[in-house]
Amino acid sequence: MVCLVSRTGRHLQRYDNFGRRQVVGCIPYRYKSSSDGTISNDVEVLVISSQKCQKMMFPKGGWELDESREEAALRESHEEAGVLGIVECELGKWDFISKSHGTFYEGYMFPLLVKEELDLWPEQNLRRRSWMNVKEARDVCQHWWMKEALDILVERLKQQNEEKFPNFCTDLVAL
């Protein structure tokens, strides 16, 4: 059963030793399929709108005391983007300052290989979601650190798929 309510409040929120709020996010991705069901080597990523404005980003939110980073990444992807899948190996850790709040954060990003896109999810009335190719997503993403995570994901997928798909991501080399 899928929960249709987002977690709220900060009573379980994690902070690092310097008092920075710890957040976790992921880059939901899939391999594009053609109309006949054939899976290609083209990658699409899912971006979502911010709650407060229409700027685009990847799902992310607070890492809480009762969950692992991977569990937090999966929860945030479900709550904000309405997708479920396989959380893969961490892309990295970034320290950044929130422009809107002026506070410091420690952010972790993970790839999420999407297995299911839900019709109903907790924040469906608060956000737009959109599948895009990597270049489009990089262009619209508002956070520099998420763009860096996307670059790392593209390079990782390229390396993993070179043998399987010799022409994988050749149009992405210029990023």
- The answer to whether residue 47 is domain-embedded is yes
**Structural domain includes residue 2:** no
Entry field: residues in the chain: 175
84 lies in some domain: yes
15, part of any domain: no
Predicted local confidence at residue 171, as pLDDT: 44
What pLDDT is stored for residue 173 in this prediction? 36
What is the number of domains present in the chain?
Answer: 1
Residue 31 domain-assigned (yes or no) = yes
**CATH classification of the domain holding 33:** 3.90.79.10
pLDDT in tens, the chain (175 residues): 455 555 555 678 899 999 899 999 999 999 988 777 777 778 999 999 998 888 999 999 999 999 999 999 999 999 999 999 999 999 999 999 987 777 899 999 999 999 999 999 999 999 999 999 999 999 999 999 999 999 999 999 988 877 665 554 544 433 3
| 39 lies in some domain | yes
Asked, for residue 16, whether it belongs to a domain, the answer is no
DSSP class per residue in 107-166: EEEEEEEEEEE-S--TTTTT--EEEEEHHHHHHHB--HHHHHHHHHHHHHHHHHHTTT-T
Task: List the domain range (segments joined by +) for residue 51.
Answer: 21-163
